[in-house]
Amino acid sequence: MDTCYHCGDSCLGTPVVFEEKKFCCEGCHAVYEIFQVHGLEAYYQREGSPGFSSVSASGKFDFLELPEIQEQLLEFDEGGVQLVELHISNIHCSSCIWLLENLHRLHPSIRNSQVDFPRKKVRITFDKEALSLKQLAELLARIGYPPTITLEDYQDKKVASDKGLYYKLGVAGFAFGNVMLLSFPEYFETQEFWLDQYKTFFRWLMFAFSLPVVFYAAQDYFIAAYNGLKSRYLNIDVPIALGIVTLFLRSTFDIVFDLGSGFFDSLTGLVFFLLVGRYFQQKTYAFLSFERDYKSYFPISVTRIGAEAGEEIVEIHKIKAGDRLLIRNQEIIAVDAILKSGKANIDYSFVTGESALVEKAAGDRVYAGGKQIGGVLEVEALKSVSQSYLTQLWSHSAFKHNKSTSFQSFTDAIGKRFTLVVLTIATLSAAFWLYFDSSQALNVFTAVLIIACPCAIALAAPFTLGNILRIFGRFGFYVKDSDTIERMAAVDTLVFDKTGTLTQTRGNQIHYEGEAVSGQQEILLSNTLRASNHPLSRELYALLKEHQIQTLDEIVEEPGRGISGTLEGATIKVGSATFVGHPDEDSAATAVHIAAGNNYKGRYVFQSSFRKGVSRLFKKLKKRYALVVLSGDKPSEKSRLQRLFPFEVPMFFNQKPEDKLEYVRTAQQHSRLMMIGDGLNDAGALAQSDVGVAITEDINVFTPACDAILSAENLSQLDKFLSLSRAARSIIHASFILSFCYNSIGLYFAVTGQLKPVIAAILMPLSSISIVVFTTLMVWATSRRLRFETKAATTEKPKTQGAAKPEYCSLNSIPQ
């Protein structure tokens, strides 16, 4: 019988022949031609399944033309670009992922597509002018991946959990218990009249109990094995399915010809314990997902404007519809909102990958995920925050680099080769016993297939890294994914930014030098600083914020240089000496200069307060890592830094953002490098580094370019985070060795005919459980040994010099 070149199904009727290739229907032929025209023939050379037959979409997606439906489905709709997340149940293999992430080659209006394989969803960004939502759904249906669209899934309702595993586990457990009970007379060979009289009946009753186990409870293993074989790929479900089929056929053969009671107890026990192992694995993954889910912990804080409290920093999940929010330069808009005041120039590249700015006026709607460039905005939230949406932005393909890992590729390599090895051992063992004792051959064959399972090996890396992600999150270190932990374990050089990283953003000693400013200039200065997120600007604003808040006509900030604000023709500049146009006579000092129009006014001089524990941290890190300090500030702090560290640390000052990026790029030629910065002027260096860590305090500028976000008060524990990431490698390697030893011992008993299938069926899920317990306990023990500390955020107020605090808040009152 002919097989369809596209979908792999059998051609029941007359096949459609095209270019010497046979297709089961015109639909599959049409999809093949689509792929051929757009250069996607490589789809048919991939290891995974070649997909599913195309689906007729005529009229099926007409409802997607309704604006009210689109509003519920679309996550983003701005500037001619739309973003939608669709559920596609047909996603099941690497080829599906490959094809769906290459949709832009099928239609030029599709900008980007990302597959979430575990959830069977794909997020697609497309140009709505050339491709409507309905046309997108029809395109997916034509290539064999019709989206399942249920509007309830897009509303804030709790999705019902899948109960299928519970039902199958119940059926298998019920059958296993009854079959074992009916098998007891056979075990003990009891010579009893009534038992002998009804022995045949009991055997057929065991056969009846096994039917729902084989054809219902075990169906997932058959489906997975079939899909693997159809795609010429031997997955781990093949030996499991083969063992179940062999046990069932052999047992049926025995009772039909009255050769014995068969292995129905082993069969039902095998499926039951397999499902118990799957249940345990599912529960553990769900637990780890909850514990390590950075959607629940994501450290984004928002400035909320209240009638009584004024401006306050609040946790992002506390935002409700109707709240007024302050959005500064370079900050992410956390919620869909209405713009109330300010000039909005929004960068939606985090959502669409395009960096073109979108201008908005008061009354316009702005979408979550946009980044404000320029002045300060006031917006009114339309709904509460969807942190899952924000964290998806963190993983956007625009911010991904090819940072390959070793554990995952090693585990994949084992999985691909394991089935062939197991089948070879089982076949050779069966052949040996056929020659010496044919009665043992089938028992040995099935025992080998059951006991030799790489599930434990496959679980080692995800469970180890998952537990570490959970521990990191508990202590204020939020890591994007498990791959980052693997890269952390390999770094040998640590590069630190100074301002906002090694130094506190609060608690600096500050004094003002220069000419007094007028009251109006002071108001303009305060409102200009209000729009900036630079640590020094934030501290100055904290001193001056008692002044009235006004909406400025224009605000322009140049990263690493300064910010300027304009109101009713008056302009004030705040930043470096060169930015305000003044020669800096004391170039060694860390200072913020002020100029009103073309008139230089003066400067704030900062004496930084280093974070507690920095010196001790560097002493610990120096034992293993090369340390470097990069700073955009003046070299006035160099002598203090040198006194802080009793060893030589390379220090570079006057570093612009592009200088930091270039340093990291050059250093990577001979080192594996972690960059630790505040996420403002360091975004390029964070993205370029092997591991980029953004430090955050009471306010956070969302930085998708980074790989991890570290709470500032936990910076002193960086050495412990690095130690735990290194320990992860040892734990995973130990797990691999443990699994290998377990399988070797089990195979010895199986090959020698000393292992019964039912015992093997019990031992196999236990092997997975042992790996889970081992990795969890080892991670827990390691973290306990490192003695992580939970620290509360500090709320220390800035210190001043030269004046009492009430007087200091006015520039005119500072003694000259």
DSSP 566: E
Whole-angstrom Cα distance, residue 544 to residue 262? 86
CATH topology of domain 509-607: Calcium-transporting ATPase, cytoplasmic domain N (3.40.1110)
What does the pLDDT look like over 66-90, one tens digit per residue?
888 888 888 888 778 888 888 887 7
CATH topology of domain 297-399: 2.70.150
Residue 116: count other Cβ atoms within 10 Å of its Cβ.
15
What confidence score (pLDDT) does residue 370 get?
A: 83
What confidence score (pLDDT) does residue 339 get?
A: 92
Of the candidates 651, 626, 646, the residue with the CA atom closest to the CA atom of residue 636: 651
What confidence score (pLDDT) does residue 214 get?
A: 93
| Domain ranges for the chain | 62-154, 164-292+406-454+738-769, 297-399, 463-504+612-723, 509-607
What confidence score (pLDDT) does residue 50 get?
A: 47
Binning pLDDT at 50, 70 and 90, where does residue 13 land? low
Q: What residues contact 425, with CB distance under 8 A and at least 6 apart?
A: 448, 452, 747, 751
What confidence score (pLDDT) does residue 727 get?
A: 93
The answer, yes or no, to whether residue 548 has pLDDT greater than 90, is no
In terms of pLDDT, which residue wins out, 8 or 164?
164
What does the pLDDT look like over 293-320, one tens digit per residue?
555 545 566 788 876 657 787 777 788 8
What does the pLDDT look like over 559-581, one tens digit per residue?
778 888 888 888 999 988 888 88
In terms of pLDDT, which residue wins out, 768 or 541?
541
Domain 62-154 classified CATH 3.30.70.100? yes
Binning pLDDT at 50, 70 and 90, where does residue 45 land? low
What confidence score (pLDDT) does residue 363 get?
A: 87
Chain length of the chain: 816
What confidence score (pLDDT) does residue 148 get?
A: 83
What does the pLDDT look like over 325-360, one tens digit per residue?
988 877 888 888 899 888 888 887 767 666 678 888
Whole-angstrom Cα distance, residue 317 to residue 280? 31
What confidence score (pLDDT) does residue 492 get?
A: 93
Mean pLDDT of 180-203: 71
pTM of the model: 0.64
Whole-angstrom Cα distance, residue 527 to residue 532? 9
Binning pLDDT at 50, 70 and 90, where does residue 808 land? very low
The answer, yes or no, to whether residue 160 has pLDDT greater than 80, is no
The answer, yes or no, to whether residue 270 has pLDDT greater than 50, is yes
- Going by DSSP bridges, is the β-strand pair 74-78/81-87 parallel, antiparallel, or unpaired? antiparallel
What does the pLDDT look like over 392-435, one tens digit per residue?
666 665 555 656 555 444 555 565 677 678 778 888 998 999 88
Max avg pLDDT among 8-17, 414-423, 459-468, 757-766: 459-468
Binning pLDDT at 50, 70 and 90, where does residue 798 land? very low
What confidence score (pLDDT) does residue 796 get?
A: 37
Binning pLDDT at 50, 70 and 90, where does residue 803 land? very low
Contact 416, 235 (CB under 8 A): no
Whole-angstrom Cα distance, residue 499 to residue 67? 48
Across 156-170, 323-337, 594-608, 799-813, least confident range = 799-813
What does the pLDDT look like over 649-682, one tens digit per residue?
888 888 888 888 899 999 999 999 999 987 666 7
What confidence score (pLDDT) does residue 523 get?
A: 84
Whole-angstrom Cα distance, residue 732 to residue 410? 11
- What is the enclosing helix (H) or strand (E) of 170? helix 164-188
The answer, yes or no, to whether residue 254 has pLDDT greater than 60, is yes
What does the pLDDT look like over 712-760, one tens digit per residue?
888 889 999 999 999 998 998 888 888 888 778 878 888 888 766 456 5
**φ, ψ for residue 84, nearest 5 deg:** -140, 145
Give the homologous superfamily in CATH for domain 463-504+612-723. HAD superfamily/HAD-like (3.40.50.1000)
Q: What residues contact 790, with CB distance under 8 A and at least 6 apart?
A: 474, 475
Residue 408: count other Cβ atoms within 10 Å of its Cβ.
15
The mean of the pLDDT values for the chain is: 76
**What type of residue sits at position 67?**
P
Q: Distances from the Cα of 533 to the Cαs of 473, 548, 678, in angstroms?
A: 25, 19, 10
What confidence score (pLDDT) does residue 158 get?
A: 44
Query: For the packed helices 757-786 and 718-751, what is the interaxial angle rounded to 10 degrees?
Result: 160
CB-count burial class (<10 Å; 0-12, 13-18, 19+) for 676: buried
| pLDDT over 90, % of the chain | 9
